[in-house]
Amino acid sequence: MSGMCLGASYAQRASRRLWTLCASANLRLSAGIAALRDGATIVTDVRMVEVGTSKALLRRAGNPITTMIDAPSVAERAKREGITRSAAAIRELTPQIDGAVVAVGNAPTALLALLDSVDEGKAQPALIIGMPVGFVACAEAKDELAKRAAAHITILGNRGGSSAAAATLNALLALSMEDIL
């Protein structure tokens, strides 16, 4: 198996195509990109999304990124409420979600917890990147996201993952620093 290395100009063209495709699909990304331009917090469900997001882009754009998946309070809440740690982490972060860009790249339960918070009026993210992966509740969680009026990007079905969510964040961060809106 051989790999392929793509240059910066290809990455720029890919980012522009993402923007064009998403804009033409009416996914309302302008609010998410504007939020990133304004320094919005990025909330993730797992460390892998955080680690996969370019530190150089985050520094240049000035956006903080956070996850609580490994916080002791999350483990305690998950046990107490009988929910997954991913769902508990999103619930712990709910006060920080208003105006944030939320990237879910691992757990469908995190996406469902986020949607519950939105439905209950507890959180209003600027953009939801809903890309959990797997076979248990994954497609269903993404279908629920697709039904919502919230600005979002998703990959329907079982595919997705932390790398897809991080790559999407990286493209959006790069777009947020361009003068294209």
Look at residue 29 in the predicted model and tell me its pLDDT.
74
Residue at 3 is within a domain = no
Q: Please, are residues 103 and 129 in contact by the beta-carbon 8 Å criterion?
A: yes
Q: Residue 113's domain spans which residues? A: 9-176
Residue range 52-91, pLDDT digits in tens: 999 999 999 999 999 999 999 999 999 999 999 999 999 9
Looking at the structure of the chain, the number of domains it has is 1
Would you state the pLDDT for residue 175?
Answer: 87
Confidence grade of residue 7 (pLDDT, cut at 50, 70, 90) = very low
CATH number of the domain enclosing 87? 3.40.50.10230
Instruction: Report the predicted TM-score, pTM, of the whole model to 2 decimal places.
Output: 0.85
What ranges in the chain are assigned the alpha helix state H? 8-24, 30-37, 47-52, 55-61, 72-81, 85-93, 108-119, 138-147, 162-176
